[in-house]
Amino acid sequence: MNTADRKALRGLHVAIIMDGNGRWAQSRGLPRLMGHREGVRRLKEVVRACPDLGVQYLTVYAFSTENWRRSRREVTGLMSMFARSIRREARELLKQGVRMRFVGDRTGLSPVLQDLFAWIEDLTAGNTRLHMTVAINYGGRDELVRATRAICAAVAAGTLRPEAVNEELIAAQLDTRDLPDPDLVIRTSGEVRSSNFLPWQSAYSEFEFTPVLWPEFTRAEFETILDAYGLRERRFGGVTA
């Protein structure tokens, strides 16, 4: 795609389910955590590519509310990797004009990680070149439960009438309240499911499933997917003029 065509895609919100780290590692006889480590490297490449490719919002699934079912070793390894990556990449993210956000239930995470989230969100709050959101301890159903509780509490307190509840009000209670809905959701590793990722927000998103494992996801693959997305017709329930 040429630069002019790319411009037409400006302001895109791409969400990625970065899957396949474990299989990538296992197929090489490596521990699963090595796959996650390689996955962080691919994420850095994708982040760097986004502004050139017209992507203004990037939201990635790093740890689901269901991922606690994994071995203690893998879970603690992932948590320390998240903390390490935030510390290590902060300067580079600032330099690249990336604004960082986190979605998911933070109260279930360690105080150290919660502090790091708050620290980097604050540090990068003035950036606008790329809005990057990382979903950690995120589950779409859990997010809807938390939002529903907040709405019910307001109704019970008498500060909200049930008739005032509408789509905008619900969206404003979600962790993603400051983000537009994703235009495109990509899942790697050949699995064709959403695994509790952004169910409300992706109601009208386009989906792309690629067999490539996340640790092998390249900028070229990303570009190919974005090019294909550019050819799709989004109707939102209407009909083509």
Catalytically active residues are: 19, 67
Given the rule CB under 6 A, which of 13-21, 88-96, 118-126, 204-212 is the region that contacts ligand IPE?
13-21
Query: SS3 of 55, please?
Result: strand
CB nearer to ligand IPE: give 21 or 124. 21
Minimum distance from residue 147 beta carbon to Mg ion (Å): 26
Interface with ligand IPE, residue 177, by CB under 6 A? no
Contacts of 175 (CB under 8 A, 6+ apart): 103, 104, 138, 143
At CA 19, angle to CA 16 and CA 21, rounded to 5? 135
Binding mask 71-90 for ligand IPE (x = CB under 6 A): -------x------------
Minimum distance from residue 13 beta carbon to Mg ion (Å): 23
Residues in 100-159 at the binding interface with ligand IPE, rule: CB under 6 A: none
Provide long-range contacts, Cβ within 8 A and 24+ apart, for 68-77.
Answer: 73/33, 74/32, 74/33, 77/33, 77/36
> In whole angstroms, what is the distance from residue 224 CA to residue 202 CA?
21
Q: Which region, left, alpha or beta, applies to residue 198 given φ > 0 means left and ψ of -120 to 50 means alpha?
A: left
> In whole angstroms, what is the distance from residue 107 CA to residue 67 CA?
16
Q: Which of 12, 60, 57 is nearest to 232 (CA)?
A: 12
Residue 23's binding partner, choosing from ligand IPE, Mg ion, none, with beta-carbon cut-off 5 to 8 A by kind?
ligand IPE
Number of residues forming the site for ligand IPE (CB under 6 A)? 17
Which residues contact Mg ion by CB under 5 A? 19
**Tokens at 223, concatenated:** 């570009």
Interface with ligand IPE, residue 61, by CB under 6 A? yes
Using CB under 6 A, which of 18, 100, 109, 151 touches ligand IPE? 18
Minimum distance from residue 9 beta carbon to ligand IPE (Å): 25
Using CB under 6 A, which of 21, 59, 124, 205 touches ligand IPE? 21
CB nearer to ligand IPE: give 68 or 152. 68
**Tokens at 10, concatenated:** 């400006």
Q: Which residues are at the interface with ligand IPE (CB under 6 A)?
A: 17-23, 61-64, 67, 78, 189, 191, 193, 195
